[in-house]
Amino acid sequence: MINWRLGLGIILTGLLVLVAIFGPMLAPYDEDYINPSGYYYNSSDDFGVISNPEPPSGKHIFGTDQYGYDILTLLLYGAKYTLLVGVLVALVRVVIGGLLGLINAIRTKNEKVGSSFGLLGSIPAFIIIYFVMAGIVVNSSLSMIELILLQSVLMTIVGIPGVYAAVFSKTKELKKNLYITASHSLGARSFRIAWKHLLPHLKATLMVMFVKEIILVLSLIGQLGIFNIFLGGTILRLGGEGVYLSVTHDWAGLIGQWRSFVYDYQWVLLYPLLAFVLIIFSFYILSRGIELKDKHGFKKYPHI
């Protein structure tokens, strides 16, 4: 049976990577372009009023927001931050957490001692990051890059224990196999056992874990965005109830800053919401495809 999930996942994620790389070049307007508002009149007796937000049209495919910014342009400029941070944070989580879990599972004989670090993963990541960043990210004196690095480090730290616990548990199960015991009896060192016997069996698990960690990171960014903790910084414009704006225009930030349009001018919120759902769906389909490929056993590894 054709693994259509894997193929669809690869296609969708590939398209997202292209959008993240070439987004600014594909944007119909400059990032700072503002659609002018006011009265217009031409020689053909065509006159009227241009007001923002402007609904989708040939001039603005996704419409404009309340300030006149082109929504498609902001999405294309912000794609790289959404995707890049999600992938890099997930990668570092899996590398560090996976190595720690693998090494500790090989060396330790007391499972309670080895698995205790993984309990830290039960602490909600959102609560930790929100209370750390709430007083820093809004109208911050730090630069955009510094805030992205700080947020990325925090998201990496809170995610390592969960990856560690999963790899530790999986490695402990693999160590019970007879070929591992035989390798120990033949004098194989821990590094050789890990490289030749354990990693080949953990490869598919780590790949699926990596993709799922991307989904978790993106979901965390989305949760923080709802509470005005935007990736790369939040601008607070005072006046009335105050308006929160995303510095980087990342997709979760655009959802957060435009969530008040859920009742009026729905297109302002609809398009970034659809874009964010698409990126989550793409990685979910990819993870399911990898899981099915491993389940059907496309490649077998020798034990010894």
The pTM assigned to this predicted structure is 0.86
The answer to whether position 208 is within a domain reads: yes
What is the total count of domains within the chain? 1
CB 255 within 8 A of CB 276: yes
The answer to whether position 41 is within a domain reads: no
**Strand, helix or coil at 60?**
coil
Residues 206-216: tens digit of each pLDDT: 898 999 999 99
The answer to whether position 232 is within a domain reads: yes
HEC per residue, 3-40: CHHHHHHHHHHHHHHHHHHHHHHHCCCCCCCECCCEEE
Residues 28-41: tens digit of each pLDDT: 999 999 887 665 55
Which residue range is the domain that position 86 belongs to?
4-24+62-295
> Looking at residue 109, which CATH number applies to its domain?
1.10.3720.10
- Please choose, from the candidates 130, 112, 161, 157, the residue with its C-alpha nearest in 3D space to the C-alpha of residue 227: 130
Q: What is the pLDDT of residue 104?
A: 83
Residue 173: HSE in the Cβ half-sphere, 13 Å Cα cutoff:
8
Mode of pairing for the β-strands spanning 38-41 and 47-50: antiparallel
CB 217 within 8 A of CB 86: yes
Band (pLDDT 50/70/90 cuts) for residue 304 is: very low
Helices 144-175, 71-107: inter-axial angle, 10-degree rounding: 40
CB 249 within 8 A of CB 233: no
Mean pLDDT taken over the chain: 83
The answer to whether position 35 is within a domain reads: no
The answer to whether position 194 is within a domain reads: yes
Residues 77-111: tens digit of each pLDDT: 999 999 999 999 999 999 999 888 888 877 776 55
The answer to whether position 302 is within a domain reads: no
The answer to whether position 55 is within a domain reads: no
Helices 199-226, 71-107: inter-axial angle, 10-degree rounding: 140
Q: What is the pLDDT of residue 195?
A: 60
The answer to whether position 44 is within a domain reads: no
Distances (CA, A) of 23 to 15, 20, 73, 283: 11, 5, 8, 19
Q: What is the pLDDT of residue 1?
A: 47
Q: How far apart are CA 269 and CA 288, in angstroms?
A: 29
Band (pLDDT 50/70/90 cuts) for residue 183 is: low
Q: Which residue has the tokens 């419409």?
A: 63
Residues 106-127: tens digit of each pLDDT: 777 655 555 555 566 667 888 8
Name residues whose C-beta falls within 8 Å of residue 11's C-beta, 6 or more positions apart in sequence.
none
Burial class (CB in 10 A: 0-12, 13-18, 19+), 110: exposed
